[in-house]
Amino acid sequence: MVEQSLDKPRFRRDYYTLYLYLLSVVCGFHQAVLGSVTPFLRDELHLTRTAIGWHFSLYALGLFTTGFIVTWCARRVAPRTILLTTTGLVALVVALFALPLTPALTLAMSLVLGLVGGAMQIAIQESLARHHGEHSGVAITEGCVFAAVGVFAGPLFVSMAVEAGLGWRMAMVVPLIALLPLSLMVPKTLARTPVVASAADSAGSTCERRLPLAAFLMFGMIFLGISAEWGIGFWGAQFLEERLTVPAATGVALMSVYFGGTIAGRIAVSRLLLHVEISTILLWAIVLGGVALVALWLLPWLAAAAVALAIAGACLGNFFPLILSIATRQPPEFLSRISAGATQAVGLALLLAPLLLGSIGDKTGLVNAVGLLAIVPPMMLAVFLLSKRMH
């Protein structure tokens, strides 16, 4: 992988980039759907906690599986087709949650949501990386900021619909409504994107080249980073309740500091990337994230926990865009597979990490289980240094 040069053209947010950012908001909205609607589905369908958990597990399984599908499609279908098709499917699948479904159908829809949502995420990431080249770090990080806006908007629209007496189902049509103007704004640049493997096919064997080992090391780092990020995201409120001996409502409120730190951190990093080498920023994010996790585990004070949560959110929330940006510094024919592999790593982490922490928490206590996440940054640092040594 090539080091990012500080002497390079300015980063430009052209119409194509802004269009992809808007699609990122829609993509982020779908990520919040299950967390927003499962409480209502639980009451309407009388679902158990195990059944609710299976919705999230099947969604994560869909994220993992879709990487194989998109990699296969990328050799035969233009990126424009993949991006626009998956965007439409995401909006449609979210809307289908508004129908009166049986428990079996809600489980099936969760799997489908992971498949199409993951494919849309892969397509957006690949498009940003391909369009911006050495500035992909800025583009992908800013895209993640817009996705976070969509994640935030999901529960907000559901809450507003319920408070207005319209019912939570009305919020499920928001992505479809958003796509109406977006469908009329498709940039010409998107229409010109070719099939990824077309040039490779003419060369005979280029598309069969194996991904370099460095890419797989980046996938491993993404798996570790997402495990830490969403280990806190899933179990943070209950951990704070036990560690600080505070009411459950206080623990939930404190988690807003964590997610707020994620958004603020991504905005700050997108600015820093214009002036500082991306590998340096990732290195500091790993170190500071590790310090924040240790402080969160050891210090039993409310103020200290709030500061540690903000720092942890800012650092852990940037692991994925930074690592993905470094991973995409490969020849163009690898971009689709790299983006797919990164999404698969996310799906695998979401599938395994919360379940593993919950299992350990049942045996040793949740405080000790979450404390184990402090070993993740040193592991990431070791993999990162290994990848640097290879190149």
Contacts of 118 (CB under 8 A, 6+ apart): 62, 63, 64, 65, 66, 67, 70, 343, 347
Percent of the chain past pLDDT 90, that is, above it, reads 17
* Per-residue pLDDT, 149: 83
Q: Are residues 162 and 276 in the same domain?
A: no
Question: What CA–CA distance (Å, rounded) separates 215 from 310?
Answer: 30
Is 233 a domain residue? yes
The predicted model gives 66-86 an average pLDDT of: 80
* Per-residue pLDDT, 195: 54
Per residue in 30-67, pLDDT tens? 887 877 787 788 888 887 767 777 888 888 888 888 88
Query: What integer best gives the mean pLDDT of the chain?
Result: 82
Per residue in 86-127, pLDDT tens? 888 999 999 998 888 888 999 999 999 989 988 898 888 888
Is 4 a domain residue? no
Question: What CA–CA distance (Å, rounded) separates 321 from 218?
Answer: 11
Nearest residue to 261 via CA among 237, 292, 301: 292
291 lies in which domain range? 209-391
* Final residue before a domain boundary, out of 183, 202, 221: 202
| Domain CATH code at residue 236 | 1.20.1250.20
Is 377 a domain residue? yes
Q: Which residue has the tokens 């009411």?
A: 247
Sign of the torsion angle spanned by Cα atoms 308, 342, 172, 51: negative
Q: Are residues 84 and 179 in the same domain?
A: yes
Question: What CA–CA distance (Å, rounded) separates 16 from 127?
Answer: 10
Q: Are residues 247 and 342 in the same domain?
A: yes
270: DSSP letter: H
Between 200 and 14, residue with greater pLDDT: 14
Is 121 a domain residue? yes
Is 76 a domain residue? yes
The predicted model gives 343-348 an average pLDDT of: 88
* Final residue before a domain boundary, out of 143, 169, 202: 202
Is 293 a domain residue? yes
Q: Are residues 249 and 344 in the same domain?
A: yes
Q: Are residues 160 and 239 in the same domain?
A: no
The predicted model gives 5-19 an average pLDDT of: 71
**Which ranges constitute the DSSP H helices of the chain?**
15-31, 33-45, 49-74, 79-96, 103-132, 136-163, 174-182, 188-191, 198-203, 213-244, 248-272, 278-298, 302-327, 335-364, 366-371, 376-390
The predicted model gives 332-346 an average pLDDT of: 82
Per residue in 193-242, pLDDT tens? 555 544 444 444 444 578 778 888 999 999 999 999 888 887 887 788 88
* Final residue before a domain boundary, out of 202, 225, 252: 202
Q: Are residues 245 and 177 in the same domain?
A: no
Q: Are residues 85 and 213 in the same domain?
A: no
> How many domains does the chain fold into?
2
Is 1 a domain residue? no
CA angle at 164 for the pair 162 and 165, rounded to the nearest 5°: 65
Nearest residue to 211 via CA among 329, 307, 121: 329
Question: What CA–CA distance (Å, rounded) separates 389 from 391?
Answer: 5
Contacts of 270 (CB under 8 A, 6+ apart): 138, 141, 142, 145
Nearest residue to 120 via CA among 78, 82, 173: 82
